[in-house]
Amino acid sequence: EQGEEDHPGTGPYLPHRKDPPAMSTLEELKAALRDTLAARGSLGQIQARVRSEIFNALEETEDPKPPMSHENLVINELIREYLEYNNYKHTLSVLLPETGQPAERIDRTFLSQDLNLRDDAHAR
């Protein structure tokens, strides 16, 4: 039919269809994608997930880690609490798989007793 010739890469030409503006360079496309993801609030989550997956892939090829010492377990738990308190979710998503810290939280009372700290409302 007249007016519906194929155009390379776009399929049939439809005069009423408005194509999105073409990106002139790959860099502009990357910048537009980065801006869109940042505006939606998902860029940081995607970056953290990619980092986490990279660490997981690297761990599979490395020698097994030695068992975690009690001291490292406590230190990592304190770091986890700090990251959660400050809402550093992306950093936390990399910390846990990289360190091998258990997913379950260590009881705060246990930590307080182990470190000889007073656990009250002012400490939270």
pTM of the model: 0.49
Alpha helices in 7-86 (DSSP H): 26-40, 43-61, 70-85
Phi and psi angles of residue 7, each rounded to the nearest 5 degrees, phi first: -115, 140
Phi and psi angles of residue 95, each rounded to the nearest 5 degrees, phi first: -60, -50
Residue of 108, 106, 109, 123 lying closest to 70 (CA atoms):
106
Query: Mean pLDDT of successive 10-residue segments in the chain (124 residues)?
Result: 47 51 76 90 86 78 76 91 92 86 85 78 60
CB atoms within 10 A of CB 98: 17
